[in-house]
Chain A
Amino acid sequence: GAGVSQSPSNKVTEKGKDVELRCDPISGHTALYWYRQSLGQGLEFLIYFQGNSAPDKSGLPSDRFSAERTGGSVSTLTIQRTQQEDSAVYLCASSSTGQAPYGYTFGSGTRLTVV
């Protein structure tokens, strides 16, 4: 597709369950970011992938959070044993050069609600 695709767009899960969020970047884009945005808050950096380099995981809030990027394309963000404070919109962005934010395009996000 022409843009960054995220799925699901909405996810309601029970506390303690694991969830997987998916990001399909624009084809050929080498750089990919995950952010989360809680209600009324700014964007919180989670993790950054650039090509085949080791990802920058410095923003992951706990060891319940992990992310991978297979074949330099699709990325999945996994949250294990979800907690209510994990409720937020999870946004993915990709770029062709890593020279942010030129060419950085955000997906429309996954709204996660933990009940």
Chain B
Amino acid sequence: RKEVEQDPGPFNVPEGATVAFNCTYSNSASQSFFWYRQDCRKEPKLLMSVYSSGNEDGRFTAQLNRASQYISLLIRDSKLSDSATYLCVVIQTNGGSQGNLIFGKGTKLSVKP
């Protein structure tokens, strides 16, 4: 089983739609969770953190379910500019190490007019 798994998509949705992505992780000792956004042929950029209590940033809501070992990202009122690949990121720490960022392969979202 891969450490971090995402549905690659693509998710093709009309403008204004609500879309949700899930990401599962295999290491129950994973510490921190994030969503990154990567535009075509660009570098990844941090979108938002994922807190145990769930957190919201405008149209974006992130949630963590430790029991089932998944995180989710919900995008409401999709915009054309939301079209991108969304990468799930998990941090695993090992003893004194600062840990690694483990990236999922990403979920591609395409928002159509």
Contacts and interface: CB of A to CB of B under 8 A. Distances in A.
A80 interface: no
Contacts of A108: 42-43
A48 B43 contact: no
Contacts of B42: 108
B46 A104 contact: yes
B26 interface: no
B3 to A, nearest CB: 10
Contact of A101 (B43, B101, B104, B106): B101
Contacts of A101: 34, 36, 46, 89, 91, 101
A75 B105 CA distance: 26
Contacts of B103: 35, 42-43, 45
Interface residues of A, number: 22
A23 to B, nearest CB: 12
A72 to B, nearest CB: 15
A33 B101 contact: yes
A109 interface: yes
A99 B98 contact: yes
Contact of A43 (B32, B44, B46): B44
Q: Across chains A and B, which 7 residue pairs bring their CB atoms closest together, nearest first?
A: A42-B105, A106-B43, A43-B103, A98-B98, A42-B103, A100-B101, A50-B98
Interface of B: 32, 34, 36, 42-46, 49, 87, 89, 91, 97-106
Given A101-B46, A106-B43, 17 more contacts: A42-B87, A42-B103, A42-B106, A43-B103, A48-B100, A56-B100, A91-B43, A91-B44, A100-B32, A100-B98, A100-B99, A101-B89, A102-B46, A104-B101, A106-B45, A108-B42, A108-B43
